[in-house]
Chain A
Amino acid sequence: MDREQVRRWESQCIQEQAPACASACPMHVDARKLAECARKGDFKAGFSVLAAAVPVPLIVAYVCDHPCQRQCRRADAGDPIRIHELEKACAEFGGASPTLRVQNKRNREILVCGSELSGVSAAILLAQKGYNVTLHEPGPALLGSLRGLGDGFLPQMAIGTDMAALEALEIEVCYDRELPHDEEAILGLRHEYDALFFEAGAWPFTFTGDPATLATRHPGVFAGNAWQELSPVYAVYEGSVAAISIDRYLQGASLTANRENRGAYPSRLYMNTQDQIPLAAVESADPEQGYTREEAQQEAARCFPCQCLECVKVCEYLKEYKSYPKRYVREIYNNECIVMGVRKANRMINSCALCGLCTTVCPENLSMAEVILAARRGMVDTGKMPPSAHDLALRDMAFSTSDAFTLARHQPGHASSAVAFLPGCQLSSSSPEHVESVYKHLRETTQGGVGLILACCGAPAQWAGNEAKFAEARAELTASWEQLGRPKLITACSSCIRTLHDHLPQIPVESLWKHIDLALIAPPTAPKRLAVHDPCSTREMREVEDGARALLRELGVEIEELNERGLTTCCGFGGLQQFANPELADRTAQRRAATSSTDYVTYCAMCRDRFSLRGKRAVHILDLIFPADDGADPAARLDPGFSRRQEGRARLKRRLLRDLWGETEAEMDELFELEIAEEVRALLEKRMILVEDVRQAVEHAEKTGEKLEQPGTGHWLAMWRPSCVTYWVEYSGGAGSFTVHNAYSHRMQVK
């Protein structure tokens, strides 16, 4: 993974951005955290939040003009949080002398002229950095303008406690001391001091300080601007700007580098307030006294608190690992960088459904699918992809690209194809009879011949990060398309449309749904109301979704929308989630299945089967158009499972060749009958063992005699290792008929 790309992805996730309150505060007081502490009644911790950000926390708690409150997002649903009252409550119930951390003494002298909030703040911050600070106050007392405010506004105790820091930090304070009034004489002080800071308004002349750094045109001389009178918290901020600039000046560092996010700035953190219930602010029973502890706790409890997590809220996968994309991206990158040790994020990387919903809901359009695919490709390229992760999916794809399934033919009696039908692997697996019905219908309604292509578009390999296998499948599909004279393809599979659209743009493709003429078919009346589930593959392809809806309306279905258009969720098959993390895939399907109690209709064979597996009644749109001859309830049709999917594909090809082209392929030699009870089949599904694997194990045992016997039971144990997996099959019987009782497998080789 490219490191710069990783940084870009990380910066797209805004969950760690400061909330609106903290970014509106020039000192970046974390009001969200302060409110959390206050909500818990831990006012001491709340005060510590304030003290961590400002050098005079008690004073600020009382006099702050709270720009944070004006940006509070609670205002979208009720009153903004009364952050200032919460700060006062923290000062009242948890206020203390701030802990002063002093760096090593630097033996440099600094003169700060003026002792209002910015001068005092600069002096404290510089002393904490280890400088020797002298504070000049022309009048008789520090913070003169605040002392007349009265105890009701600013308790003297607060001033006294905060000013104790000056003594603790050994700041020399000089009162009533005249300084020269002409600029030249003032600049002469540079001989005595390494740097000077003039607070705004404290002296009869004005130096103009640069707004960002407060540097004047005289090296080593810094001066405040006009904030002193406008805003207490900006005055403190100006002191902190001066302290940073002086420290950088004395260390020979750049005054301007990396100061972009100093001071107030617009927050990038997104907070969805749409579903929040409006709440009014808690009123204090005694406004003179401010909040009681209980009132403060109640007010703090109104804080949401602000956070984005839009993607995590809608995705079972992102929720599973209990964090958010910015951290996931870092974990994934770190996972790739491990040379020796355990790659703990492998399973996480292989569990994403690549459905794209996170990108749709993300305010910054971060695509976790892009991140995950890059990671999977990297793992495959470096040989670090766990062999078991996508084994069955890739073997299944190998079957779909083998001669057992693939076919490319012109319509019987035609030497060319105006269009060609590409049903896709999963419809061919799940309901091969629909493929036959659709092909017949297309032949009846289309002039110029309808070719047929049975092939795999390679989506499973793409999802697995296996670019080589994906390229092979694309090349094979392209060859079939060229063999038929490059016709437009009509497909019933959303994943095929997506793959062709993104990776084979030279092949024209359309979804089947607008090529069905219901007038010719005259299907029976469809159920009145169905909830439509859109497959995630065609999320951004509105024309595919619209085509299916138009067909449903024509069928007389009253459509229930499961979500706002474009926000469909995955069934758990996407991205091969079902193979890498079956438990999570079950929860993904269950979440979708639980969205509505209405029966679902979908136009993806795999989605339908995944719902069926979870016990959710669901039909494929083709179930409504071409109902089963026996009148069976299509919503109750069971998921066929991995093994029957392959059998379905192979059978479809054989039947089409026989019925349409009059060719009979040699049947696979099945030397014996294999009886497998449904509960054993279910166990095989769970263990991802195909019936074909079982068959070959039994065949191998019977042919070679390599099997184990448990005397007295009549049961045999066959073992067979065709390549990387050893299969063990417990079976009984003989004379061409066997019953399978159990099967398991392992990848370790034992000798």
Chain B
Amino acid sequence: MAEEAELMCGKCKQPLVKAQVVASYLGAEFPIELLRCPGCGVVHVPESLATGKMFQVEQALEDK
């Protein structure tokens, strides 16, 4: 699925919009801008982020 394309929330039937959200793991928190549904608040984590930077940060936190 192309990551730049517009995404619709299947439940609320409205497009996701950029929003400031918080990613947390093992007690650490990071603010990050991602697409979120203005209705139900579901946040999209794209594949490149999950398998890239997010994975690296998870590994680093696990070694803390």
Give me the interface of A with B, judged by CB distance under 8 Å: 341-344, 346-347, 386-389, 687, 701, 704-711, 713, 715-717, 719, 726, 728, 730, 741-742, 744-751
Instruction: Report whether B58 and A747 are in contact in the complex, using a CB–CB cutoff of 8 Å.
Output: yes
Instruction: Report whether A748 and B11 are in contact in the complex, using a CB–CB cutoff of 8 Å.
Output: no
The chain A residue with its CB closest to the CB of B60 is A342
Write out the residue numbers on chain A whose beta carbons fall within 8 Å of the beta carbon of B60: 342
A750 touches which of B5, B23, B40, B57 (Cβ 8 Å):
B23
The chain A residue with its CB closest to the CB of B51 is A744
Write out the residue numbers on chain B whose beta carbons fall within 8 Å of the beta carbon of A747: 25, 58
Q: How far is the CB of B27 from chain A (nearest CB, A)?
A: 11
Instruction: Report whether A750 and B62 are in contact in the complex, using a CB–CB cutoff of 8 Å.
Output: no
The 8 closest A-B pairs by CB, nearest first: A386-B62, A707-B10, A746-B50, A709-B8, A748-B25, A705-B11, A748-B23, A750-B43
Write out the residue numbers on chain B whose beta carbons fall within 8 Å of the beta carbon of A708: 7-10, 16, 42, 44
Complex alpha-carbon distance, A746 and B52, angstroms: 10
Instruction: Report whether B58 and A342 are in contact in the complex, using a CB–CB cutoff of 8 Å.
Output: no
Complex alpha-carbon distance, A704 and B42, angstroms: 13
Complex alpha-carbon distance, A707 and B24, angstroms: 22
Instruction: Report whether A387 and B62 are in contact in the complex, using a CB–CB cutoff of 8 Å.
Output: yes
**Given A708-B42, A748-B24, A388 and B7 contact (CB-CB distance below 8 Å):** no
The chain B residue with its CB closest to the CB of A702 is B10
8 pairs across A/B with beta carbons < 8 Å? A347-B63, A704-B11, A708-B9, A708-B10, A713-B5, A717-B7, A746-B50, A751-B24
Instruction: Report whether A746 and B42 are in contact in the complex, using a CB–CB cutoff of 8 Å.
Output: no
B interface bracket (residues with beta carbon within 8 Å of A): 35 or more
The chain B residue with its CB closest to the CB of A724 is B25
Write out the residue numbers on chain A whose beta carbons fall within 8 Å of the beta carbon of B55: 746
Write out the residue numbers on chain B whose beta carbons fall within 8 Å of the beta carbon of A705: 10-11
The chain A residue with its CB closest to the CB of B48 is A744
Which residue, A386, A715, A748, has most C-beta atoms of chain B within 10 A?
A748
Write out the residue numbers on chain B whose beta carbons fall within 8 Å of the beta carbon of A715: 1
Complex alpha-carbon distance, A115 and B40, angstroms: 95
Instruction: Report whether B57 and A748 are in contact in the complex, using a CB–CB cutoff of 8 Å.
Output: yes
Complex alpha-carbon distance, A751 and B24, angstroms: 8
Instruction: Report whether A346 and B44 are in contact in the complex, using a CB–CB cutoff of 8 Å.
Output: no
The chain B residue with its CB closest to the CB of A706 is B11
Complex alpha-carbon distance, A707 and B47, angstroms: 15
Majority-rule SS of B interface residues:
mixed
A742 touches which of B21, B34, B47, B64 (Cβ 8 Å):
B47
Instruction: Report whether B1 and A706 are in contact in the complex, using a CB–CB cutoff of 8 Å.
Output: no
Write out the residue numbers on chain A whose beta carbons fall within 8 Å of the beta carbon of B40: 706
A711 touches which of B8, B23, B50, B63 (Cβ 8 Å):
B8
Instruction: Report whether B25 and A730 are in contact in the complex, using a CB–CB cutoff of 8 Å.
Output: no
Write out the residue numbers on chain B whose beta carbons fall within 8 Å of the beta carbon of A342: 60, 63-64
Write out the residue numbers on chain A whose beta carbons fall within 8 Å of the beta carbon of B57: 748
Write out the residue numbers on chain B whose beta carbons fall within 8 Å of the beta carbon of A389: 62
Write out the residue numbers on chain A whose beta carbons fall within 8 Å of the beta carbon of B42: 706, 708, 719
Q: How far is the CB of A329 from chain B (nearest CB, A)?
A: 19
**Given A342-B63, A710-B1, A728-B45, A751 and B21 contact (CB-CB distance below 8 Å):** yes
The chain A residue with its CB closest to the CB of B3 is A710
A388-B59, A745-B50 are known; give 13 further A-B pairs, CB within 8 A. A341-B64, A346-B62, A386-B59, A687-B51, A705-B10, A706-B11, A707-B11, A744-B47, A746-B54, A747-B25, A750-B34, A750-B45, A751-B43
Complex alpha-carbon distance, A478 and B44, angstroms: 47
**Given A713-B1, A748-B57, A751-B22, A701 and B10 contact (CB-CB distance below 8 Å):** yes
Write out the residue numbers on chain A whose beta carbons fall within 8 Å of the beta carbon of B6: 710-711
Q: How far is the CB of A491 from chain B (nearest CB, A)?
A: 35
Write out the residue numbers on chain A whose beta carbons fall within 8 Å of the beta carbon of B23: 748-750
Q: How far is the CB of B37 from chain A (nearest CB, A)?
A: 8
Complex alpha-carbon distance, A346 and B43, angstroms: 32
Complex alpha-carbon distance, A747 and B57, angstroms: 10
Instruction: Report whether A706 and B10 are in contact in the complex, using a CB–CB cutoff of 8 Å.
Output: yes
Complex alpha-carbon distance, A707 and B1, angstroms: 13
Q: How far is the CB of A341 from chain B (nearest CB, A)?
A: 8
Q: How far is the CB of A677 from chain B (nearest CB, A)?
A: 16
Complex alpha-carbon distance, A750 and B31, angstroms: 9
Write out the residue numbers on chain B whose beta carbons fall within 8 Å of the beta carbon of A744: 47, 50-51
Q: How far is the CB of B42 from chain A (nearest CB, A)?
A: 7
The chain A residue with its CB closest to the CB of B15 is A711
Q: How far is the CB of A223 from chain B (nearest CB, A)?
A: 60
Instruction: Report whether A742 and B1 are in contact in the complex, using a CB–CB cutoff of 8 Å.
Output: yes
Write out the residue numbers on chain B whose beta carbons fall within 8 Å of the beta carbon of A341: 64
Complex alpha-carbon distance, A747 and B63, angstroms: 14
Write out the residue numbers on chain A whose beta carbons fall within 8 Å of the beta carbon of B62: 346, 386-389
Write out the residue numbers on chain A whose beta carbons fall within 8 Å of the beta carbon of B22: 750-751
The chain B residue with its CB closest to the CB of A709 is B8
Complex alpha-carbon distance, A730 and B46, angstroms: 11
Complex alpha-carbon distance, A563 and B57, angstroms: 43
Complex alpha-carbon distance, A716 and B1, angstroms: 9
Complex alpha-carbon distance, A570 and B60, angstroms: 29
Q: How far is the CB of B8 from chain A (nearest CB, A)?
A: 4
**Given A708-B44, A713-B1, A730-B1, A748 and B58 contact (CB-CB distance below 8 Å):** yes
Complex alpha-carbon distance, A343 and B23, angstroms: 22
Q: How far is the CB of A224 from chain B (nearest CB, A)?
A: 57
Complex alpha-carbon distance, A701 and B21, angstroms: 22
Instruction: Report whether B5 and A746 are in contact in the complex, using a CB–CB cutoff of 8 Å.
Output: no
The chain B residue with its CB closest to the CB of A687 is B51
Instruction: Report whether A748 and B54 are in contact in the complex, using a CB–CB cutoff of 8 Å.
Output: yes
Write out the residue numbers on chain B whose beta carbons fall within 8 Å of the beta carbon of A347: 63
Write out the residue numbers on chain B whose beta carbons fall within 8 Å of the beta carbon of A748: 23-25, 45, 54, 57-58
Write out the residue numbers on chain A whose beta carbons fall within 8 Å of the beta carbon of B11: 704-707
0/1 interface trace, chain B 20-38, chain A, CB 8 Å (1 if under): 0111111000001010000
Q: How far is the CB of A506 from chain B (nearest CB, A)?
A: 38
Instruction: Report whether A746 and B9 are in contact in the complex, using a CB–CB cutoff of 8 Å.
Output: no
Complex alpha-carbon distance, A494 and B37, angstroms: 53
The chain B residue with its CB closest to the CB of A340 is B64
Q: How far is the CB of A391 from chain B (nearest CB, A)?
A: 11
